[in-house]
Amino acid sequence: MDDTLFAGRDWLLADGATGTNLFDMGLTSGDAPELWNETHPDRIRRLHQNFVEAGADIILTNSFGGTSRRLALHKLDGRVRELNRLAAQNARAVADAADRRVIVAGSVGPTGDLFAPLGAMTPEWAEEVFFEQMEGLKDGGADVIWIETMSALEEMHAAAAAAAKVGMPFTVTASFDTAGNTMMGVRPENMIREVSGYLPHPHGIGCNCGVGASDLLCSVLAMTEAQPDAVVIAKANCGVPQVGAGGVTYTGTPQVMAEYARLALDAGAKIIGGCCGTRPEHLLAMRRALEGYAKGERPSAEQIIAAIGPLASPPSRVTAGERRAGRRRG
**DSSP string spanning 164-182?**
HHHT--EEEEE---BTTB-
pLDDT value of residue 169: 98
Distance CA 48, CA 40 (A): 13
What residues does each domain of the chain span? Answer: 3-299
Report the side by side order of strands in the sheet with 103-108.
12-13, 269-274, 232-236, 204-209, 170-174, 144-150, 103-108, 58-60
pLDDT value of residue 247: 76
Indicate if the pLDDT at residue 322 is higher than 50: no
Indicate if the pLDDT at residue 323 is higher than 80: no
The 10 Å CB-count burial string (b at 16+, else e) for 184-210 is bebbbbbbbeebbebeeebbbbbbbbb
Residue of 6 and 234 predicted with greater confidence: 234
Question: Smallest Cα–Cα separation from 54: which of 271, 218, 287, 267?
Answer: 287
Q: Tell me what the mean pLDDT of segment 166-170 comes to.
A: 98
Indicate if the pLDDT at residue 246 is higher than 80: no
Indicate if the pLDDT at residue 325 is higher than 70: no
Please check whether residue 222 is in contact with residue 228, taking contact to mean a CB–CB distance below 8 angstroms: no
Question: Smallest Cα–Cα separation from 106: which of 74, 148, 75?
Answer: 148
The CATH number of the domain covering residues in 3-299: 3.20.20.330
Q: Tell me what the mean pLDDT of segment 94-99 comes to.
A: 98
pLDDT value of residue 2: 61
Q: Encode pLDDT of 116-150 as tens digits.
A: 999 999 999 999 999 999 999 999 999 999 999 99
pLDDT value of residue 1: 63
Indicate if the pLDDT at residue 3 is higher than 80: no
- Cross-strand pairs, 170: 145
Q: What's the number of CA atoms in the CB half-sphere (13 Å) around residue 168?
A: 32
pLDDT value of residue 4: 62
Residue 246 one-letter amino acid: G
Pairing of strands 247-250, 241-244: antiparallel
Q: Kindly give, in sequence order, each residue whose CB lies less than 8 Å from that of residue 207, ignoring residues fewer than 6 positions away.
A: 173, 174, 175, 176, 188, 216, 219, 220, 223, 233, 234, 235, 236
Question: Smallest Cα–Cα separation from 209: which of 247, 176, 162?
Answer: 176
Backbone φ and ψ of 106, nearest 5°: -80, 105
Average pLDDT, whole number, for the chain? 93
Q: Encode pLDDT of 101-120 as tens digits.
A: 999 999 999 999 999 999 99
Q: Encode pLDDT of 287-315 as tens digits.
A: 999 998 999 999 999 999 999 999 999 98
Q: Tell me what the mean pLDDT of segment 251-258 comes to.
A: 96
Q: Encode pLDDT of 35-44 as tens digits.
A: 999 999 999 9
Q: Tell me what the mean pLDDT of segment 250-270 comes to.
A: 97
Least confident of 4-8, 159-163, 319-323: 319-323
